[in-house]
Amino acid sequence: MSPKRAPEPSDVSSSGWLAAGTGLAGVLLGAAAVMLGHGDRLGAREPTAVSPVVIPMPAVPAAPSLPDAVAATIGTVVSLRTPSSVGAGVIVDAEGWVVTNMHVVADVVGAAGISRGSEHEAPIVRARFLDGRELAATVVVADRDEDLAVLRLSGDPGERFAAARLGVSTRLRVGESVFAIGNPHGLSHTVSSGIVSARDRPGPGSGGVPLIQLDASINLGNSGGPLFTSDGALVGLVTGREREGQGIAYALPVDHVRGFLHAITQQGGRRAGAVGL
């Protein structure tokens, strides 16, 4: 009995694919012909004139650059020096009222009030302007609990000073750009910038007031200096930093500072918990 031969490989599969491919090619060519013919027929029509519609867009004012914002605000900042400390302050009234941290001027504040020293040598604070001019400043009110103090510049009679524009600290957003101007290590009118890292942080020496956390470079001597937004609004007073770690500093919100100033005005220079003349 002769052995069975293996079946020859079938050509159905290959011929089937070939046929399908040929058929598909024919369909595509046919479709192309139809489309080209359709395009020719469309092209034969007269073009329709279309008038462009122009929608006017309102102009968006450009945000001020950091150098512009610094130039507009740095004249409102004074570097402060006492017999044993350095810090900064910001002018908040054209008559020469300066706000700073109480701990910046603590050595000139007595236990029961503002220490007056001797009759001929009252302890004063020296305030230095950007142009190098120096004026004496006297502490009018100091509040240990809230770490705030108000000073008065002794300028010429009738002299008017550039004052900061108070913003609204509750409108600050996390991630918003801010910059500080201070007197770190006695380096007058030093600028550092960063962002708002967080809001409503608890902090030491703030009287329980929630603080603004920022990541700008803050050093000894920045205390009492202003914190501005990128458009030049005063939103806080730099009050301290974490001793361990970097890029963690705090500022007292300007909304609280505004309330402090209002209370002083209403109470004739005095308020509960404060000492002053």
The rounded distance, in Å, linking the Cα atoms of 227 and 241 is: 14
The rounded distance, in Å, linking the Cα atoms of 216 and 214 is: 6
- pLDDT tens for each residue of 221-237: 999 999 999 999 999 99
Q: Report the half-sphere exposure of 192 (CA within 13 A, side-chain side).
A: 19
Q: Are 95 and 155 in contact (CB under 8 A)?
A: no
**Tokens read off for 174:** 């996390």
Q: Choose, from 147, 189, 217, 255, the residue flagged as catalytic.
A: 147
Vertex 148, ends 67 and 120: CA angle to 5°? 105
What pLDDT, on a 0 to 100 scale, did the predictor assign at position 56?
A: 73
Domain ranges within the chain, ordered by starting residue: 66-276
**What residues of the chain score a pLDDT lower than 70?**
1-54, 57, 59-63, 110-123, 204-207, 266-277
What pLDDT, on a 0 to 100 scale, did the predictor assign at position 46?
A: 63
Q: Choose, from 79, 169, 217, 223, the residue flagged as catalytic.
A: 223
Q: Choose, from 103, 197, 206, 256, the residue flagged as catalytic.
A: 103
Question: What percent of the residues of the chain are helix, what percent strand, and what percent coil, each to the nearest 5?
Answer: 25, 30, 45
Cα→Cα distances 110→115, 141, 144, Å: 4, 12, 11
Q: Is 77 helix (H, G, I), strand (E, B) or coil?
A: strand
Predicted TM-score of the model (pTM)? 0.72
What pLDDT, on a 0 to 100 scale, did the predictor assign at position 262?
A: 85
**103 is known as an active-site residue:** yes
Q: Is 179 helix (H, G, I), strand (E, B) or coil?
A: strand
Q: Is 31 helix (H, G, I), strand (E, B) or coil?
A: helix
**147 is known as an active-site residue:** yes
- pLDDT tens for each residue of 122-132: 458 999 999 99
What pLDDT, on a 0 to 100 scale, did the predictor assign at position 197?
A: 97
**154 is known as an active-site residue:** no
CATH architecture entry for 66-276: Beta Barrel (2.40)
